[in-house]
Amino acid sequence: MKKPVFAANWKMNFGPQETRTYLKTFLDAFPKTDDRTVIIFPSAISLVVAGFALRDRPDILLGVQNIHWEEKGAFTGENSASMARDAGASVALVGHSERRHTFGEGDEITAKKCAAAFKAGLTVVLCVGEKLEERDRNTTQAVVLRQLKAGISRLNSAQIARIAIAYEPVWAIGTGRTATPELAQEMHAFIKSLLDLPVLYGGSVKPENAAELLAQPDVDGALVGGASLEIDYFVAICEAAVRSRS
Ligand code: PEP
């Protein structure tokens, strides 16, 4: 049995106080385990508090939602990978669709961010996924291939071996519309035919659909946005999914 990965992307939610409260309840509800990996991606402003709350839980990794590709300098409002590492993160989320499509970050920026993450000692969850019009034009695989190639273009093979991919069809993120398990499986198998890496599924994962998605042979975990804001939902997703594999 593969060890599944469950990542919570809190997006722009939960400042330090709420982070402390969430994690206290979450840790009580989710006892230490070595049969799955959990990653929490809080807001950058809550990283230090989250790191402190997780200090006795090495089974739960801390990630940063976004980094700048430069190490330091005149980039008002940005955080570098080394600053995120210093704040307790060990993973960086790169290429999330909100970064790509809301903030206009293209493949070149994604590539630079992946390289910056490794330079600072972080690993990467690289997000890829097509927009609805790209799926309708039958260009899904070409888009995902392009995003993957760009994402790893500045990494060496040892670094590539340490990343995880998150396949997140843009039309399923925050929309309540989930890819069918078959569609997710098809794309995960495609990605794995290119890169032998863990592939998480993201896009409106909920307690009701997690088990079915995770039961697919090439779905190695989930990247959860909206549902991760509810502690009970996120715990249920992690548990439903593990049950479906045992
Ligand atoms: C995400 O933010 O990566 C995500 C998949 O969001 P949601 O679960 O809300 O669709």
Query: CA-CA distance, 17 to 15, in Å (whole number)?
Result: 6
Q: What is the pLDDT of residues 213-227, one digit of tens each?
A: 999 999 999 999 999
Q: Is 168 a catalytic residue?
A: yes
Which percentage of the chain shows pLDDT scores above 70? 97
Measured distance CA(10)–CA(157) in Å, rounded: 30
Please name which of 123, 173, 133 lies closest in space to residue 11, comparing C-alpha atoms: 173
Helices and strands, counts by H and E, the chain: 11, 8
Side-chain half-sphere exposure of 163, counting CA atoms within 13 A: 31
Alpha-carbon separation of residue 107 from 17, 152, 168, 189, 244 (angstroms): 35, 10, 16, 22, 35
Phi, psi of 63 (to 5 degrees): -125, 160
* pLDDT score for 244: 56
pLDDT at residue 214, as a whole number? 95
The CA 73 to ligand 1 mean position distance, Å, reads: 31
Choice from 5, 6, 11 to test ligand 1 binding pocket (greatest atom count within 8 A of CB): 11
Torsion sign over Cα 33, 39, 40, 45: positive
pLDDT at 242: 63
Residue 199: per-residue pLDDT: 98
Residue 2 clears pLDDT 70, i.e. is over it? no
Q: Contact at 8 Å (CB) between 100 and 66?
A: no
Atom 2 in ligand 1: residue holding the nearest Cα: 225
Banded pLDDT at 177 (limits 50, 70, 90): confident
Active-site position among 105, 130, 134, 168: 168
Residue nearest to atom 1 of ligand 1 (CA): 225
User: Which element (helix H / strand E) includes 199?
Assistant: strand 199-202
- 3-class DSSP state for residue 124? strand
Coil, helix or strand for 100? Answer: helix
Q: What is the pTM for the complete model shown?
A: 0.96
pLDDT of 240:
80
For the four alpha carbons of 240, 21, 98 and 146, in that order, the dihedral sign comes to negative
C-alpha 173 to ligand 1 mean position (Å)? 5
* Main-chain phi, psi angles of 226, to 5 degrees: -50, -45
Q: What percent of the chain has pLDDT over 90?
A: 92
How large is the greatest C-alpha to C-alpha distance in the chain, in angstroms? 50
Question: Does residue 225 line the site of ligand 1, with CB under 6 A?
Answer: yes
163 lines ligand 1 (CB under 6 A): no
Average of pLDDT values for 120-147? 97
Q: What is the mean pLDDT of the chain?
A: 95
> Tell me, what's the pLDDT at 243?
53
User: What tokens does 240 get?
Assistant: 């439903």
pLDDT digits over 96-122, tens only? 999 999 999 999 999 999 999 999 999
Q: pLDDT tens digits for 31-63?
A: 999 999 999 999 999 999 999 999 999 999 999
For residue 226, report the distance from its CA to the centre of ligand 1, in Å: 6
Exposure pattern of 225-245 as b/e (b: 16+ CB <10 Å)? bbbbbebebbbbbbbbbbebb
pLDDT of amino acid 1 = 47
- Contact criterion met (CB below 8 Å) for 238 and 23: no
